[in-house]
Amino acid sequence: MIKAILLHHNFIKIASCIIGYTLWAFLAQYQTVTISQPIPICFYQTSTHVTIQAPDFVNVSFSGKRKHIYLLRQRDFAIHLDASLYAEGKHFIQLTRDHIFLPDSIKLESLTPNSIEIIFNKKE
């Protein structure tokens, strides 16, 4: 009876689908994927006496294993700039991986633009 059920073609088809999907799901998490998205530019240690003119977003492309990418919280991505390092006036800032908090398992592929112009003005 059990032998007949196990050798029935419907059981073999269903078991094959389950095994195939499980194998695919396991192996897919180790696949390298690349994601591109705009992320905001955020300033910290800002003074209440200064206004900052800067682009709102920078396009970022990064890659890593699918399982590491899924662990990232996309809403936490931002370019982090310390406003206290800059005096009044126009500044050109070269953006690097250090401005984004990414784990070592994630590779930064590109930043577009890779340098931005920021203007600090005193409030009137």
Looking at residue 83, what is its pLDDT? 87
Among left, alpha and beta (phi > 0; psi -120 to 50; other), residue 23 is alpha
Alpha-carbon dihedral 91, 94, 99, 105, rounded to 10 degrees: 180
In the chain, what are the domain boundaries?
A: 1-30, 31-122
**Matching CATH number, 31-122, of 1.10.8.100, 3.60.15.10, 2.170.120.30, 1.10.8.870:** 2.170.120.30
Looking at residue 86, what is its pLDDT? 85
Looking at residue 104, what is its pLDDT? 86
Q: Check residues 123 and 19 and name the one with the higher pLDDT.
A: 19
Q: Which amino acid is at 49?
A: H
Give the tens place of pLDDT for each residue, 68-115. 887 776 666 888 999 888 888 899 999 988 888 888 888 999 999 989
Looking at residue 71, what is its pLDDT? 79
Q: What is the pTM of this model?
A: 0.69
Residues near 39 by beta carbon (within 8 Å), at least 6 away in sequence: 57, 58, 59, 60, 77, 78, 79, 100
Give the tens place of pLDDT for each residue, 12-40. 888 888 999 998 888 877 888 888 889 99
- With contact defined as beta carbons under 8 Å apart, do 60 and 36 qualify? yes
Looking at residue 68, what is its pLDDT? 84
Looking at residue 18, what is its pLDDT? 92
Cα separation, 95 vs 103, in Å, equals 17
- Degrees (nearest 5) of the Cα angle 59, 60, 64? 155
Beta-bridge mates of residue 91: 118
Cα separation, 118 vs 89, in Å, equals 8
